[in-house]
Structure 1
């Protein structure tokens, strides 16, 4: 699909998936991850190597404070003052954190515009009690299937792209061709900008969150053409920031989530996986990344795995 406009609303209308899986659908493009495609993806496991793609949930994360903070873990019991029969001692702890503090999914209720969520569900259904439609719990069967890594930073020969650098459809095609991998229906597309590597090198949350390289608005048509099920990145918002249209914010979020019904995965760590893929030239793998089952939640922490 060649999109013919840079206007967000017109673009959204061109790529919209509303009604495709029924008028009541709340899952969007994860419907494309069929049992047949999951079974086929299992064949990509050859060596059994497992790669963690989630970042640690601790005080050293990229959140600078304000709307979102890094996770705070507190001990409620440590066993030191317990006197129980037979010497038994136990420990418990709990965590206070935004559901989108680290590696996480955006649910389809995370953003909306013009009063509507994905598939035309009412935007005012997101209240202080959570989302009555399109909550993250609707994806609880799990997001697992064929994962594909496009290493944009390596293709450009840089450690990381700069903030504000957009990745357009031509570059996505060029990287896929250079890596010898296809992106197709039901795939979980991961793209590496090096933004996680930047954070690990600099440990500067303000710089990490101030902007980012990412997908251009025109990439929506490319993703729609290929029926990609999920898009994941090592930056914090998938799309390029600052955005391409002055005076507008998070336009690709609105098109991908609200119009296309694409679940987004953000702040992932591809460093170890990218090195392994470069070493043997295999850039597809089995991806397993279920969300936590937060009823009516608009996001969820994740620790997805790439299994090769």
Structure 2
């Protein structure tokens, strides 16, 4: 089954292949220049820090909807072991087994392919069983620090949570932008709040997964026009699920990651940030969100922090 014509039309309009050279593996992160970071640092006023990551534990977001993804399994491998003899300093160590996209994470540009291609036209078969992603892996993302902008779409709709069938449109993003009193600009990292995280925090991970509000297939053009560096939201699927266009599953993923080369993140807890931004009446901040650099991985956990 081929992708619908509408997808290919949008893909042509947002495509960034070759924009930063034929060998580029980081895509729109190139938009985060030194000047952008200096301006981002200037947004800090109070120094208030808001964590945006979910805990990594057995009661996480994974419900079996995505095959192969498990919640973290944590095991102790040393407990107060006196390595150098009785009476010496003792150490405790542990290990974990987890899917790299298990909770709050970034998708690498290699996470999705379509028509046999990854970002920048690289062949999808550059992902191998033993080496993982030889192109566009999460280890190529050396640093993600920029101005973050919260687009609180749920609050702009005067609700705590958008309904499961709500596809977030460019018009929604602009309404949230107006609420925020800020204009998204080149190099920004945009955080889109739908309120869906409230379902997970209430203990229902199945309802959190499906049905879910999320980004519409129309939003990549908006992000491309604004030269956004990366986008994250508070859902499992990132885009609306089930999809708004029949037979176009993960279309937003393909447009963002493959065509634009834009990092995208899921399962970000934006609830506290929503409250703080509303109280302080400002929605732009310094955001630190560098993923763990797993070699050849197609995604990785991240513990983002917004600094106001």
Aligning the two structures, in what range does the TM-score lie when normalised by the shorter sequence?
Answer: over 0.9
1:143 and 2:138 are equivalent in the alignment: no
Task: Report the CA distance between 1:287 and its aligned residue.
Answer: 0.3
Residue equivalent to 1:168: 169
1:6–1:164 CA distance, 2 compared to 1 (3 A): farther
The Cα offsets for residues 210-262 of structure 1, whole Å up to 9 and x where unpaired, read as 23101111111111110000001011122111111112201010011100001
Q: Does 1:58 align with 2:57?
A: yes
1:288 and 1:83 map into 2 onto residues whose CA distance is: 39
Tell me which moved more, 29-38 or 60-69: 60-69
Say whether the 8 Å CA contact 2:153–2:175 is kept in structure 1: no
Q: Is the 8 A contact 1:160 1:194 kept in 2?
A: yes
* 1:80 shift after superposition: 6.2
- Equivalent positions of 1:1-308 (< 5 A) are 7-65=6-64, 66-79=67-80, 84-128=85-129, 129-140=131-142, 142-201=143-202, 203-308=203-308
Secondary structure of 2:90 counterpart: coil
For residues 137-168 of structure 1, give each alpha carbon's deviation from its aligned partner in whole angstroms, at most 9, with x where no partner exists: 1102x100100001111111222112121111
SS across alignment from 2:190: strand
Any unmatched runs of 5+ in structure 2? none
Q: CA RMSD in A?
A: 1.5
Question: Cα offset for 1:187?
Answer: 0.3
Q: Which runs of 4+ in 1 moved over 4 A?
A: 80-83
The CA deviation string for residues 272-297 of structure 1, in whole angstroms up to 9 with x for no partner, is 11111000111000000111111111
Paired residues of 1:6 and 1:217 also in contact (CA < 8 A) = no
Q: Is the 8 A contact 2:82 2:88 kept in 1?
A: no
Q: How far off is 1:205 after superposition?
A: 1.7
Residue 6 of structure 1: how far off its partner (Å): 7.1
Q: Distance in 2 between matches of 1:84 and 1:249?
A: 58
Deviations 1:101-136 (A, max 9, x none): 000000000000111100001111011120110000
Q: Distance in 2 between matches of 1:165 and 1:38?
A: 33
Number of aligned residue pairs: give it. 302
Deviation at 1:81, TM superposition (A): 7.9
